[in-house]
Amino acid sequence: MGCTPEGRIAHIEGVSVSETQARESGLPLVLPGFIDLHVHGGGGRDIMQGDDAARKICQVHAEHGTTALLATTMTAPLADIAQALQGIQDVCRDMPRDGAHILGVHLEGPYINEDKLGAQPAFARPLAAHELQQLSQLAPIRLITLAPEVPGNMDLIDALCAQGMRVQIGHTSGTYEDGVQALARGASGFTHLFNAMTGLHHRAPGMVGAALAHAQYAEIIPDLIHVHPGAIRVALRAVPCLYCVSDSTAATGMPDGPYQLGQHTVYKCMGGVRLEDGTLAGSTLTLDQALRNLVDSLGLGILEASQRVSTHAADFMGLTDRGRLQPGAWADMVVLNRDLALQSVHLLGRPL
């Protein structure tokens, strides 16, 4: 594979073989770098801390094959979110070669329903255009999670989409009908499908029903803790471009113990992250493990699993030069062995 000086793929040489032949050969498997649209932290650092936290988080996730990500905020007062975005500015601009590239910001709140906070701090509020404008001047906001049933939120979805932002439905007590209307207004995804939203009942399909019946895209956390494998299989059959996110926290890559998630203290124990009351609070998942879970626990082929940790997320964000190995795309790649253990990571054509 040849690369241009700026780090794009110039040409690819080789022959195509089946997935079975590829694994049986024992030769390295080369896949597009992983793309994670929901990252709160890693390596003991949290995006909401600002300063150099984002750079450290990008380095940790790159070590696990994630080559591009959205820095994800928590529900918080405006000043706290602004502090986080100020810490992201330089990393967004630089495209560092020692860590994942930050594609922009995922605002997971504060424009959510206070009745479906999950592990979000209690600062939920309706969407305010002036507030969003202030934040947009600090760092590029690419994705917003909101609850469409909160008064005023539904009416602003069109405007957000017109500004080039993606809108996801999440942390919502909304009905099936609310979900269908939000999709019609321009919303295009669902935040951590099944978690922090109204569930499916045969006489009240809820927001989960709206996603399963109508969504082209939705994110899901395949750590096998947040969502039962059977429910993941349902989503795989229903949502054509279901893609994986880590929803990772500062506890990712760290030993058991207490960590910060926004204004909350969370606890890593037995592979999970929870609030003191036991509520799930993000994860310690990395996307190399997500790939293995899809293949080894859910039975997906490597190609489909690769699409669900890379290509579909890129397509959701409208990125035609990421999540694929083809001339003109960024030369971000992962190399794995036959057991899907990560062997190396290449950013802009250079090994990490």
The residues annotated with a catalytic role in the active site are 247
Nearest C-alpha neighbor of 222 from the set 209, 231, 212: 231
Q: In what order do the strands lie in the sheet with 29-32?
A: 29-32, 333-336, 342-347, 350-351
- Both tokens of 172, joined, read 């919502």
Q: What are 78-81's contacts with CB under 8 Å, separation 24+?
A: 78/131, 78/134, 78/135, 80/48, 80/262, 80/263, 81/48, 81/107, 81/110, 81/135
The rounded distance, in Å, linking the Cα atoms of 198 and 209 is 9
Q: Are 193 and 233 in contact (CB under 8 A)?
A: no
55 Rama class: left (phi>0) / alpha (psi -120 to 50) / beta: alpha
The rounded distance, in Å, linking the Cα atoms of 293 and 305 is 9
3-state helix, strand, coil in the chain (%, to 5): 30, 25, 40
- The b/e string for 300-332 (b: 16+ C-beta within 10 A; e otherwise) is bebebbbbbbbbbbbbbbebeebbbbeeebbbb
Residue 171, amino acid: H
Q: Are 128 and 163 in contact (CB under 8 A)?
A: no
DSSP 3-state of 182: helix
The rounded distance, in Å, linking the Cα atoms of 109 and 145 is 6
Residue labelled with tokens 């979805």: 157
Q: How far from each other are the two terminal CA atoms of the chain, in whole angstroms?
A: 17
